Each structure stands twice: as structure tokens, then as C-alpha cells.
Amino acid sequence: MKIDFSPNSKIKPVKGNVLLSEPFLNDPYFKRTVVLLCEHNHEGSFGFVLNNYIDVELDQIMEEMPHFPTRISIGGPVRNSNLYYIHSLGDEIKESVEIMPGIYMGGDFDHLKKLLVAGKLEKENVRFFVGYSGWSADQLQSEIESNSWFVTNVDKDTVMNTDIEDLWKVIMKQQGRQGEMIANLPEDPSLN
């Protein structure tokens, strides 16, 4: 008998959704992760892991960056020598792309840097990621169908908040009774 460890959901993945990894996914980048889906189309998908942090400061990653009190995430295994960002500044950062209502990706980095240097941003305004997570055409859909990922929605404040401890568990518990049971499973199934 196979036990389904995914909450019941019929949500089709689209830009702005989050992906919750299944509870026993044994992958160093994706174990109990929450991924903000930034693009999903016939060519492929990509996003940023929201809950996998590194212990390094922004000014240690890039020269000429000011000290900025925020946590930096490992966005995924692809291009992990590059720095990416999302923000809630909208049109203030030209050429940024809306991911979901109130959350934007990229844009004029020099302008963002000027705002950081001037001290005009709070950590709730911008999040930084080293690398990103990517899937080839139909790969993500295949992983969803095999129950490796659960698709759901979260609000803007949850996406931008780097202070939530155990984000995977918090969001999983919001998925109803089955999600609450899944959130409380041990990471090692042999301990159950």
C-alpha cells in the first residue's frame, strides 16, 4: 500500500506559486524547501529557494555593496556564483518583472544599489539569492506528478520575510489537516 505524503491540491503551477518539497525528498538543495516559482512555461521553469540560508553578509558577496542586515538564501544549484534578487519596489526599479502581486524580480541593479547605499531600503523590501533552481521543459510537471512537489500559494509578506523559522513546516501546516500531519513527520522516516 502506497501512502500519499502530499496534501490534496489541484493547483496547476504558475508564476507566483510556491513549491513545497515532499517531506522525505533526500536532495541537499531541496530537502524540505519552499521555492518561489518565478517562471513556468513550455520552455521550462525556474525559481528561488526561500528557506535555505547561507551565513554570509551582502557586502562580503559583492564589492562596493553596503552592509545590509538581511539573510541571503541559496536560491538553488544553477549559476550559484551569481547574485539574484526579488523586491517589493515595483516600478521604482526599472525593468523589473512582476512575479506575483507586489513581488518583482530583477531590474536596474545600479538603482537598487543606490537605494541600499542611501539607506532607503528595509530588509522587507528586498531579498537576495545566490543561484537559482531550474527545470527543463516538462521536468517540473513530471516531478509534481510523482509527488516530489506540492503547489500552493502564499502571500507577499511570507515571501519577503526572512525571519520565519522552519518556513516549510509553517506553510505545510496551512494546507489543512493532511498538511498538518505531514509537517509533523520526522525528517528521517525510520524514526517514525
Segment 148-168, tens digit of pLDDT: 999 999 999 999 999 999 999
pTM listed for this prediction: 0.92
pLDDT (0 to 100) of residue 1: 35
| pLDDT confidence tier of residue 62, bands split at 50, 70 and 90 | confident
pLDDT (0 to 100) of residue 2: 45
3-state SS string for the chain:
CCCCCCCCCCCCCCCCCEEEECCCCCCCCCCCCEEEEEEEECCEEEEEECCCEECCCHHHHCCCCCCCCCCEEECCCEEEEEEEEEECCHHHCCCCEEEECCEEECCCHHHHHHHHHCCCCCCCCEEEEEEEEEEECCHHHHHHHCCCEEEECCCHHHHHCCCCCCHHHHHHHCCCHHHHHHHCCCCCHHHC
pLDDT (0 to 100) of residue 6: 54
81 against 131, higher pLDDT: 131
Answer yes or no: is pLDDT of 8 > 70: no
Segment 107-146, tens digit of pLDDT: 999 999 999 999 999 999 999 999 999 999 999 999 998 8
- CATH superfamily name and code, 18-185: VC0467-like (3.40.1740.10)
Q: Quote the percentage of the chain above a pLDDT of 70.
A: 92
